[in-house]
Structure 1
Amino acid sequence: MIRAENLQKTVPMGGRELEILKGINLEIKSGETVAVVGASGSGKSTLLGLLAGLDEPSTGRVVIGGTDLSALDEDGRAAFRAENVGFVFQSFQLLPALTALENVMLPLELKGQQDALSQAEHFLQRVELAQRLDHYPRQLSGGEQQRVAIARAFAARPEILFADEPTGNLDSRTGEHIIELLFQLNQEHGTTLVLVTHDLKLAERCQRRLQLEAGELVVT
């Protein structure tokens, strides 16, 4: 379960503090599928980063499965994410010096998985990139890079998958295929899905929607 308590995030802006999130309280059950929706600038991506432990709140805390992320230092949060969390970034975050296959294998190798190669190949095939295994990110389109990032997140079989606009760079057919994969992962492994999206089809597939308006949670 994910629990956020009084999450606030402020950043300095022109000599004052800009409040991005304003006292967010929420709970997400294990295995639940949740869409985070709202207008651009409402704080969706900031909330996702805080829930995943990629950033620290100005006040408040995030507790995942009994682990208080605020009690961990940066290395501790990184170790926790490696074991429990997958993240699909809107900007892909692929390593340019590694091929598609190597990008997907890397987190598996860091976890010491002996079948990293076969798992990486399997999930790249599932996102229809079997012919792009040896291609570097610069040789791939934006949509193909997004699919590599999604394969990387899937391959680790995380307990929780956070995704920021996972279908935003994909054509409609590929986007629908990725949506199916997301929910297959949820059903096959009980993976908790927390998705920031403007895609109405994707949001409607989720069990619940959280709507943000100007940094405040208005629907839970």
Structure 2
Amino acid sequence: MSSEASQGERQATTDNQAVADVPRGTVRQAVLHADKLSKKVTSGERSLTILHDLSLSVAAGESVAILGKSGAGKSTLLGLLAGLDTPSDGELTLFGHALSRLDEDGRAALRAGRVGFVFQNFQLLPTLSALENVMLPLELSPRAGETQTAAQWLERVGLGERVNHLPKQLSGGEQQRVAVARAFVTDPELVFADEPTGNLDPDTGGQVIDLLFQLNHEAGTTLILVTHDHALARRCDRCLRLDHGKLEAVLENIVPTAASIDEGAQ
């Protein structure tokens, strides 16, 4: 290999243009690696440490649950891992790119088409139809047949007859199904789910989660799930607990079948 080629490879992790040029699926061994992340916020004269010296590595195709009480910093951690926020200290590598070397536009370009999100409050645009909401990630990562692809995903989540409905015309469960379709429509390598059943009743939430895990399994997508629900967390390959700003393994986490989950287990 020539020195020019070697220099080009090194440069690929240091600028925004390289993000757009790297083919999807190039880095498969470790999708995400966090090294000694810390997050501090200042309010007046008071400094609060939310996350401290936190490290995590997630392999391609792995499903990881992050448990924690309300206020433990789970959503803050998810925002850092997704590059939506920046840490006070430490380094995060996503798809082989050190996020500290990318500006906000560069991080967005890195996520485009490769990362999907499912949020607790759905995050649908109220003036757009179900179909248009699902099409949004496709517009950020253009490809042929956007409308047909989005319609097919709405069909897959059971909303083939609701493509033209606005979010206010859909139930909570239906809105979250739209959000799930939106998360998977670009065939992403990584999906983040932040308390995806938090605003749903148990029966509806169970249906949405079954759908989420089914689609994730079929696509072989890497999944990082933030939740306070132990039963839901046990459906992942690995379970971690966020406590006092640090992650620790939940050793008793065994991957059961959906039918064997004890909803009352702790």
TM (norm. structure 2) is 0.77
Task: Report the secondary structure of 1:48's partner residue.
Answer: helix
**AA matched with 2:188:** P
| Residue 45 (1) aligns with residue 75 (2) | yes
In angstroms, what is the RMSD of aligned CA positions? 1.7
| Residue 112 (1) aligns with residue 170 (2) | no
The whole-number CA distance in structure 2 between the counterparts of 1:11 and 1:94 is 29
Match of 1:24 in 2: 54
Task: Report the secondary structure of 1:205's partner residue.
Answer: coil
Task: Report the secondary structure of 1:131's partner residue.
Answer: coil
Match of 1:169 in 2: 199
Match of 2:156 in 1: 126
1:169, distance to aligned residue in structure 2 (A): 2.4
The whole-number CA distance in structure 2 between the counterparts of 1:200 and 1:217 is 16
1:13, distance to aligned residue in structure 2 (A): 1.8
Q: Which has the higher contact order (CA 8 A, sep 6+)?
A: 1
1:213, distance to aligned residue in structure 2 (A): 0.9
Cα deviations across residues 50-70 of structure 1 (Å, max 9, x unaligned)? 101111111111102311111
The whole-number CA distance in structure 2 between the counterparts of 1:149 and 1:18 is 33
Greater Cα offset, 103-112 or 27-36: 103-112
The whole-number CA distance in structure 2 between the counterparts of 1:170 and 1:121 is 24
| Residue 153 (1) aligns with residue 183 (2) | yes
Q: Which stretches in structure 1 are left out of the alignment for 5+ residues? A: none
Cα deviations across residues 106-126 of structure 1 (Å, max 9, x unaligned)? 211332221222221222223
1:48, distance to aligned residue in structure 2 (A): 0.7
Q: Which stretches in structure 2 are left out of the alignment for 5+ residues? A: 1-29, 251-266
Task: Report the secondary structure of 1:212's partner residue.
Answer: strand
The whole-number CA distance in structure 2 between the counterparts of 1:83 and 1:141 is 27
Q: 108, 111, 115: which is aligned to 1:81?
A: 111
Q: 195, 216, 236: which is aligned to 1:186?
A: 216
Match of 1:4 in 2: 34
Contact 2:61 2:223 in 1 (8 A): yes
User: Which runs of structure 2 are paired with 1:131-146 in the superposition (5 Å)?
Assistant: 131-146=161-176
Contact 2:37 2:89 in 1 (8 A): yes
Greater Cα offset, 90-99 or 177-186: 177-186
Q: Residue 83 and residue 55 in structure 1: after superposition, are their counterparts in 2 closer, same or farther (change >3 A)?
A: same
The whole-number CA distance in structure 1 between the counterparts of 2:152 and 2:199 is 22
Find runs of 4+ consecutive structure 1 residues off by over 4 angstroms: none
- The count of aligned residue pairs is 220
**AA matched with 2:149:** Q
Contact 2:121 2:199 in 1 (8 A): no
1:85, distance to aligned residue in structure 2 (A): 0.8
Q: 118, 123, 145: which is aligned to 1:93?
A: 123
Cα deviations across residues 95-140 of structure 1 (Å, max 9, x unaligned)? 2221111010121133222122222122222322223211112323
The whole-number CA distance in structure 1 between the counterparts of 2:186 and 2:220 is 14
TM (norm. structure 1) is 0.93
Amino-acid identity (%):
60
Match of 2:258 in 1: none
The whole-number CA distance in structure 1 between the counterparts of 2:193 and 2:65 is 10
Q: Residue 185 and residue 142 in structure 1: after superposition, are their counterparts in 2 closer, same or farther (change >3 A)?
A: closer
